[in-house]
Structure 1
């Protein structure tokens, strides 16, 4: 008799990720960053440290150029990013994080570091190391032996 196929690992990974992101955004809202959405955090990942063009951001997020432009407009109106002349392309613009954007990143890093310390205290350093190693291996396994270079928002 063949074992029943399961997919609970996929569900658990998704639930874990979503739970962490939801907790992070509750924290960010309490700290004055309630206008930042999960997709913006993915964008900040690409914009730090040296900025990116709208096209580069669209490629990284795997979204249309129009969607990236709308996201940049939204973040610029709220003071998280600024458009600057591109140093190599006179027609292009480089999108960089403002002090407010960097402050949001620092708040995110502090929250996620605290969460990882809590998990390490609960699970133990060895299990956390094994978990990280196994998750990295899993991601690389399903991506042909490499870590993906895109980070598409899922909501």
Structure 2
């Protein structure tokens, strides 16, 4: 059965949400590249967030991202090679290796936070503060409270 409003078909909503997300993320990464982080990719930001300030193991990282330990390890290998992560002995358990952010990784996340604020302000300038706030409030109202969990199986593939 077709939508009640042919000007606004149901399938367009997720595409518009995705396009808005891609616009923000693409603009962020273009500016990150200009600021010295040309190798960072969107998935890398999720990984750095999942590693966190205290570090983690590859197994725990895989669980947080909803991917296998091997897939997490491959991404860690790439981010170690790029200088964003490092592996270190776990002081609590000599059998384990921790994955931690380097200063470069912390810098990339810090810059991302500042840039996301600036990108939000760009939307405010274009749409108005009330409309952006209303959009955020509306999205919060219809999304589950644990929406920011990273361990959503299938989101990052294996």
Partner of 2:78: 74
Of 15, 20, 30, the residue aligned with 2:19 is 15
Decide whether aligned partners of structure 1 residues 13 and 123 sit closer, same or farther in structure 2, where only a CA change above 3 A counts.
same
Of 92, 96, 101, the residue aligned with 2:96 is 92
Mark the runs of 5 or more structure 2 residues left unpaired by the alignment.
none
TM-score, normalised with respect to structure 2? 0.83
Of 42, 47, 58, the residue aligned with 1:43 is 47
TM-score, normalised with respect to structure 1? 0.85
| Secondary structure at the counterpart of residue 92 of structure 1 | strand
Greater CA drift, 105-114 or 86-95: 86-95
* Structure 1 residue 6 corresponds to structure 2 residue 4: no
Mark the runs of 5 or more structure 1 residues left unpaired by the alignment.
none
Matches within 5 A, 1:5-154: 6-140=10-144, 146-150=146-150, 152-153=155-156
Work out the number of aligned pairs and report it: 150
Contact 1:38 1:153 in 2 (8 A): no
How big is the alpha-carbon RMSD for the aligned residues of Structure 1 and Structure 2?
2.1
Contact 1:80 1:100 in 2 (8 A): yes
Consecutive aligned runs of 4 or more in structure 1 exceeding 3 Å deviation: 1-5, 151-154
Residues of 2 paired with 1:41 and 1:153: CA distance? 12
